Structure 1
Amino acid sequence: MKFRILAFLLVYLCVNPLRAQSQMSLKPKLVLVINVEQMRNDYLVRYADKFQNNGFLRLVNQGAVCSNVGLNLHIQKCVTGVPTLFTGAYPDRHGIINESWMDRLKEKEVDAVADPNYITVGSDSDEGQRSAQQLLSPTLGDGLKLVTNGASKVFSVGLNDYSAVFSAGHAADGAYWMDNETGNMISSSYYVDQFPAWAFSFNAKQMMDSYATRDWTTLLPSSSYAASSEDDDVFETGYFEKWRSFPYNLKKLISETGSYRVMKTTPYGNRLIKDFAVNLIDQERLGRDEVTDLLTINFSSMDYANSLFGPSSVEMEDTYLRLDQDVADLLNYVDKNIGLANTLVVLTSSCSSSYSVDFLQQKYKMPAGYVSPESMVALLKSYLNITYGQGNWIDFVMDQQIYVDRDLIEKQKLDLADFLSKAASFINQFEGVKIALPATGFEQGDYATSLLTTISKSYNFKRSGDILFMLENGWQPQFKFRKVVYTDNSRIPMIFFGQGIKSGRFRNSVDAIDLVPTIFDILGYDIPPHCKGRVISEIMR
């Protein structure tokens, strides 16, 4: 089952990669992709005067900065962004349309990464029961494995399971992420049969317990954070709606949460990932021969607490000032042990972030507002009952997708296209909704060449909902009993750094799916047939 996806790449073996073999000495020994989840483009400018020279600024000043990069997804989340970046395709092809979806045949909700067929490796928890089985396209690492006949070493590290899994792919040598229960790093039997001894030794240091004895205080004096709003800003929700100013007692936050999950929202989560990645590079001997290896490191911008504080908070700025130190440490280590001249570094993000509605409305009087999906669906159900008679017409709702009961519609001998069209028209009446579309149009290809391609590229025939809608810019969903991380910002950073890469700012339009084709071209290999992006040739010498 695990290797079934590799059939998609067998055709790749038929193309001739011999031209690349003659360029072996020119290839980087290591491709290091740094994915910072929910990173906005402007952070690199906003905090630049406080960054050190060997961290983010080294990449900005010496690398190719692509300043016009779009990651145009219908459901804009890291869980959809990571597979899009690392497959070079959109959800219509790679299949990860959301963190979960409705399987109509099995009549049950399917999780994007959870897989009970595999066990946790490195812990007794069930947080390692994960796999890439739901990912329908090969990744950068999968392609690299094939063209090198398995010689390339492929690893990923991340705070979250989906980031580690989807950046690793199917054939990786290892994918590791943080266990919320223990604060240790774990993996899945999908990737490794036995947890490496070096990883056990790393976990034995109990670094999260060590961090938990500290308070999270600002790295610099409070007067240095002029690029951010005042601490304890009224527009910040804060931890548990009661703590929103420095210092933060980490032990108290862990106690309130009941797990180490809250540590992902602090700079110490990124510190754990950096330290583990450095150990992995050393112990797995990455970049030590002429065959190119791949390591993806997935950092976070306060993870699920991103929306609790926002892009203009002191907490966000402090997170990036400390992450800058981690990036500098990482690059210095690679330079000393492998050589940055032998390394291709890419800095990017699998998802951006937006300002809160209250911040936009009340502080700057910008058009913004909340949409209540629960109220919307409740009214839709009433409308359908009035129009078609009593029935459970709605099966499942997840974010901006609504699944209807197609069996009931067929049983009542209703026309599906007409039913969905009327339902979508009803949703279109709500304030804050930009557009709602029936899935029948996507199935017929009606939207493929229109301005609605953002939804079209995210529509997967077997997995997507029956009615798909988008919100107006500045509008966000608001639920009664759950918090959501939502963004309408599709702009992400992308910087290439290494031998043969020009330095400077490049303003040509770039799509997130251009990442994989560009890396393959730099390595001297033909672009895998499933990739839909282009080679960003303007950044190459």
Structure 2
Amino acid sequence: MKRFFFLVLFLVAISAFCQSYESRQTTESPALVVGIVVDQMRFDYLSKFYPNFSEGGFKRLMTTGAFFKNHHINYVPTVTAAGHASIYTGCGPGVHGIIGNAWYDRTTGEKIYCVHNDQVNPVGTTSPSGRKSPLHLQVSTISDQLKLATQNKSKVISIALKDRAAILSGGFKADASYWFQAKTYGKWITSSYYQEKLPKWVLEFNERKNINSYLKAWEPLYPLATYLNTTTSHNAFERGFIGKNTKDFPYAIDSLAATNQFYSILRGTPHGNTMTFDFVKKAIQEEALGKDSVVDFLMLSCSATDYIGHNFGVDSVELEDTYYRLDKDLADFLQYLDKEVGKGRYLLFLTSDHGAGHVSGYLRSQKIPASYFKQATYRNALSAYLKKKYQIEKPVLSITNQQIYLNTKEFVQKKLELKDIRKEVAFWLRKKPGIEQVFTKEQIENRKFYNGMHSKIKQGYHSKRSGDIVYVLPSYSVAYSRTGSAHGSGYTYDSHIPLLFYGSLVSPKIYDTPSYATDVATTLAALLGIALPDGATGEVLPVTENLK
């Protein structure tokens, strides 16, 4: 009798759970998932610029969504390609294989660009800039899993000014992926991997008159007296635009275009982000995203913020103005989604692929230790040392992403143990000023690292694609120009980024517990009730814990 009683209770509980789950899937499941990646966005921009943000943009997401304040990138290098791939696959470069924007390939003896593919044809252009695909990605993305779960009924579209941002977001099964061809072309393009020709609506958007409308003056959105960044426009830490002697507002973008690679200048102004949002809204409308009972997925990346950060630096008024304009674009986009898709019918997240550091020269002016690293000097010295000792003509094949690729074939032919050579190179590097830490292939592959820089090195290391030696520079030491900000390290200025979830299935709450870039895809999989991407290692974040 007792067993029968507990069995009845169990069946009642299961029935209630199923009814609750079915009801929740019916009433709360999104019609559209929107992923927004802001290229080169530090976490502290949310708090630093908060006073001047509108109520409808970043503030709306921060106050009515799930706001993760302790969100980090858990691998190196912190660059665009690795960032987008990690966000959408739920794993680090050591698994998905995108170990940088480019890397050295031992089989060909050449550098490989992360999305280059000679086997596909350009669409919308005749330029090689259209020969791109996700060929080098090694695991599925969250949208790939969505397509599989819905038998390809879901529509997936990815859009960014940068080809690598668009392609690595969309994964293998995207219905369309568009990126902006700059210079004298000035149009959105794709490749035959996705489509054989551009849709009519893309051709209409690409009309010269329309694209030219974004070549307009860049002036501060608000009075400069209200801006919070402290560096003036007249300093030695900004690059500016060719053809303008001073680095201050306003910038006559139309007249500066000819001396700044024509339409390429759009990528380095807030107008590039505005154009991206306009193109995205057109895609939603023309492709009827979020209009039926099957969930669709739209990814967009705001690339202009990265170009502007590299040009003017994170402390510039130009960078600050860019985020106020991005906030305005974001508010407008959220209103568009409310109207076009419907409030509560879309699930949105916003994050970044990496942060950025203060310009090292600026830090030195503020008495903070910082330096510039001359990679070529170290490579030449190391090559000379190994060449003299082992009589190998070219002992170092490449130094890419702070990884040293040794000429292992030549060392083996001389019957030398590679692990001994790697140890010797590591010992040589550790004695040099300007090098903080050094890891050999054996150390990375054979040791367990649970946290800190060691763990980030391991998660970013791919056994077949990475180098023999990985070295770490001191904080704020960069191999970069003396103007503009750089990124790529595992330090917090490059790794601490925003993460916000908003909309369908999300309850408002601020989280202080650590979360990581690899958690985004796993969380989305849990929310959508679909399988995890193949290589996912991230955790499921508690974005629904307050929902009734």
* TM-score, reference length from structure 2: 0.90
Does residue 1:362 correspond to 2:365, yes or no? yes
The equivalences for 1:448-463 within 5 A come to 448-449=449-450, 451=452, 452-463=454-465
Does residue 1:515 correspond to 2:520, yes or no? yes
Q: Which has the larger radius of gyration?
A: 2
Does residue 1:319 correspond to 2:322, yes or no? yes
Task: Using the TM superposition, name which of 514-523 and 481-490 deviates more.
Answer: 481-490
The equivalent of 2:59 in structure 1 is 57
Over 3 Å counting, the alpha-carbon distance change for 1:302 and 1:524 in structure 2 is closer
User: CA separation in 1, counterparts of 2:276 and 2:504?
Assistant: 26
User: CA separation in 2, counterparts of 1:485 and 1:455?
Assistant: 15
The equivalent of 2:6 in structure 1 is none
Task: Using the TM superposition, name which of 333-342 and 120-129 deviates more.
Answer: 120-129
**Per-residue deviation at 1:389?**
2.8
Task: Using the TM superposition, name which of 445-454 and 481-490 deviates more.
Answer: 481-490
User: CA separation in 2, counterparts of 1:430 and 1:20?
Assistant: 60
CA deviations over 1:248-288 (Å, ceiling 9, x no partner): 12134321222422211101100110000000000000001
Matching residue within 60, 83, 87 for 1:85: 87
User: CA separation in 1, counterparts of 2:209 and 2:448?
Assistant: 52
The equivalences for 1:15-34 within 5 A come to 23-34=25-36
Contact 1:307/1:356 (8 A) holds in 2: no
CA deviations over 1:316-368 (Å, ceiling 9, x no partner): 111111111111111111101111311111010011111011111112x1121
Does residue 1:260 correspond to 2:263, yes or no? yes
User: CA separation in 2, counterparts of 1:311 and 1:216?
Assistant: 18
**Per-residue deviation at 1:242?**
4.7
The equivalent of 1:208 in structure 2 is 211
The equivalences for 1:135-534 within 5 A come to 135-181=137-183, 182-204=185-207, 206-212=209-215, 214-240=216-242, 242-363=245-366, 365-443=367-445, 445-449=446-450, 451=452, 452-478=454-480, 486=488, 488=491, 489-534=494-539
User: CA separation in 2, counterparts of 1:389 and 1:160?
Assistant: 43
**Per-residue deviation at 1:237?**
3.0
CA deviations over 1:125-173 (Å, ceiling 9, x no partner): 2221100010001111101101111111111110100000000000001
CA deviations over 1:220-243 (Å, ceiling 9, x no partner): 222222344222233323334954
CA deviations over 1:182-216 (Å, ceiling 9, x no partner): 2211111111122111111111254332222x221
SS in 1 for 2:213: helix
Over 3 Å counting, the alpha-carbon distance change for 1:450 and 1:278 in structure 2 is closer
Contact 1:373/1:478 (8 A) holds in 2: no
CA deviations over 1:31-68 (Å, ceiling 9, x no partner): 11111000111111111222111111111111111001
Task: Using the TM superposition, name which of 143-152 and 178-187 deviates more.
Answer: 178-187
Contact 1:29/1:291 (8 A) holds in 2: yes
CA deviations over 1:410-434 (Å, ceiling 9, x no partner): 1111110111111112122233322
Task: Using the TM superposition, name which of 128-137 and 23-32 deviates more.
Answer: 23-32
Over 3 Å counting, the alpha-carbon distance change for 1:251 and 1:55 in structure 2 is same
In structure 2, what residue type is equivalent to 1:521? A
In structure 2, the gaps of 5 or more residues are: 1-17
Matching residue within 99, 102, 106 for 2:101: 99
User: CA separation in 2, counterparts of 1:298 and 1:343?
Assistant: 18
In structure 1, what residue type is equivalent to 2:447? D
In structure 1, what residue type is equivalent to 2:517? A
Contact 1:32/1:296 (8 A) holds in 2: yes
Over 3 Å counting, the alpha-carbon distance change for 1:183 and 1:21 in structure 2 is farther
**Per-residue deviation at 1:21?**
7.2
User: CA separation in 2, counterparts of 1:450 and 1:316?
Assistant: 32
User: CA separation in 1, counterparts of 2:390 and 2:21?
Assistant: 62
Query: Identity of counterpart residues, as a percentage?
Result: 32
Over 3 Å counting, the alpha-carbon distance change for 1:105 and 1:20 in structure 2 is farther
User: CA separation in 2, counterparts of 1:222 and 1:526?
Assistant: 49
The equivalent of 1:14 in structure 2 is none
Contact 1:373/1:479 (8 A) holds in 2: no
In structure 2, what residue type is equivalent to 1:88? G
User: CA separation in 1, counterparts of 2:483 and 2:427?
Assistant: 27
User: CA separation in 2, counterparts of 1:258 and 1:242?
Assistant: 17
Contact 2:426/2:440 (8 A) holds in 1: yes
User: CA separation in 2, counterparts of 1:30 and 1:20?
Assistant: 19
The equivalent of 2:133 in structure 1 is 131
* TM-score, reference length from structure 1: 0.92
User: CA separation in 2, counterparts of 1:504 and 1:484?
Assistant: 32
In structure 1, the gaps of 5 or more residues are: 1-16
User: CA separation in 1, counterparts of 2:163 and 2:507?
Assistant: 34
The equivalent of 2:3 in structure 1 is none
User: CA separation in 2, counterparts of 1:115 and 1:278?
Assistant: 29
Contact 2:76/2:488 (8 A) holds in 1: no
Contact 2:30/2:347 (8 A) holds in 1: yes
User: CA separation in 1, counterparts of 2:312 and 2:401?
Assistant: 22
The equivalent of 1:112 in structure 2 is 114
Does residue 1:44 correspond to 2:49, yes or no? no
Count how many residue pairs are aligned between Structure 1 and Structure 2: 522
In structure 2, what residue type is equivalent to 1:506? Y
Task: Using the TM superposition, name which of 88-97 and 241-250 deviates more.
Answer: 241-250
Contact 2:355/2:487 (8 A) holds in 1: no
**Per-residue deviation at 1:449?**
4.6
**Per-residue deviation at 1:460?**
0.7
In structure 2, what residue type is equivalent to 1:35? V
In structure 1, what residue type is equivalent to 2:521? V
